[in-house]
A and B are shown apart, each in its own frame.
Chain A
Amino acid sequence: KQEVTQIPAALSVPEGENLVLNCSFTDSAIYNLQWFRQDPGKGLTSLLLIQSSQREQTSGRLNASLDKSSGRSTLYIAASQPGDSATYLCAVKAQGGSEKLVFGKGTKLTVNP
């Protein structure tokens, strides 16, 4: 059974700092991995999607890496801003045809002005 763990559970940083969020998964037979952002009481916004054959994806100040063999992904946020404050969720989709995403519990990020 796939399990996804995100560390840390919460993170507070001053504005301008670069930071890394971590995601690990137990079964390396994944089809893809996605990072989402969730604001309080809201739905999820897709940030980056990495296919299993890829090593990283970049969008603006965000960079996500994937090391499938070790079951790890990181989300790097450069020059953090107060508007980046949210919960960041990692989700994996398995190989084999299931459409189910398995999510971690998320990392709650607070960027202080």
Chain B
Amino acid sequence: DTGVSQNPRHKITKRGQNVTFRCDPISEHNRLYWYRQTLGQGPEFLTYFQNEAQLEKSRLLSDRFSAERPKGSFSTLEIQRTEQGDSAMYLCASSVNRQGARGGYTFGSGTRLTVV
């Protein structure tokens, strides 16, 4: 297992189109997170899954955004009717919740979305 994998690495889309990103976490990690990062800013939390359950959502996650994690493995983040303000790097991270675990995150390399 080489870490958290995100696909695609880059996505250019026209305004109004729908896009979907995929994240494959480290296999033994039961927690998965999505963050969004714009230029010059730190990442902002979007949502968090423990196994297949979506337990926390940010107010940043508007009705146009939806995330799933079927079967508690990979996750998808879909943005409907994209807007130019959605242009950002979308980062996925995973961690493990068990006795003795440090609680640190492993981030993927991100998907850079450009809406034109």
A91 to B43, CA, bound (A): 9
Q: Which of B92-116 contact A (CB under 8 A)?
A: 93, 102-110, 112
Cβ contacts under 8 Å, A34 to chain B:
104-105
Contact residues of A: prevailing secondary structure? strand
B28 at interface by CB-CB < 8 Å: no
Q: Are A105 and B56 in contact (CB under 8 A)?
A: no
A25 at interface by CB-CB < 8 Å: no
| 8 Å CB contact of A99 from B4, B40, B55, B106 | B55
Of all chain A residues, the one with the shortest Cβ separation from B112 is A41
B48 at interface by CB-CB < 8 Å: yes
A99 to B103, CA, bound (A): 10
Q: Are A49 and B43 in contact (CB under 8 A)?
A: no
Q: Are A104 and B42 in contact (CB under 8 A)?
A: yes
The tally of CB-CB contacts under 8 A between chains A and B is: 59
Q: Which of A11-63 contact B (CB under 8 A)?
A: 31-32, 34, 36, 41-46, 49, 51
Q: Contacts A43-B91, A43-B107, A43-B108 given: A99-B48 contact, CB under 8 Å?
A: yes
Q: Which of A76-113 contact B (CB under 8 A)?
A: 89, 91, 93, 98-106
| 8 Å CB contact of A106 from B42, B93, B104 | B42
CB distance from B35 to the nearest CB of A (A): 8
- The tally of residues in B whose CB lies under 8 Å from a CB in A reads 27
A4 at interface by CB-CB < 8 Å: yes
| 8 Å CB contact of B56 from A4, A44, A46, A99 | A99
Q: Are B33 and A99 in contact (CB under 8 A)?
A: yes
- The tally of residues in A whose CB lies under 8 Å from a CB in B reads 25
Most buried by B among A31, A103, A104: A103
CB distance from B6 to the nearest CB of A (A): 8
A55 to B45, CA, bound (A): 26
15 A-B pairs besides A4-B42, A43-B6 with CB distance below 8 A are A34-B105, A41-B112, A42-B109, A42-B110, A43-B91, A44-B93, A46-B107, A91-B43, A98-B56, A99-B31, A101-B43, A101-B105, A104-B42, A105-B40, A105-B41
A residues in contact (CB < 8 Å) with B: 4, 31-32, 34, 36, 41-46, 49, 51, 89, 91, 93, 98-106
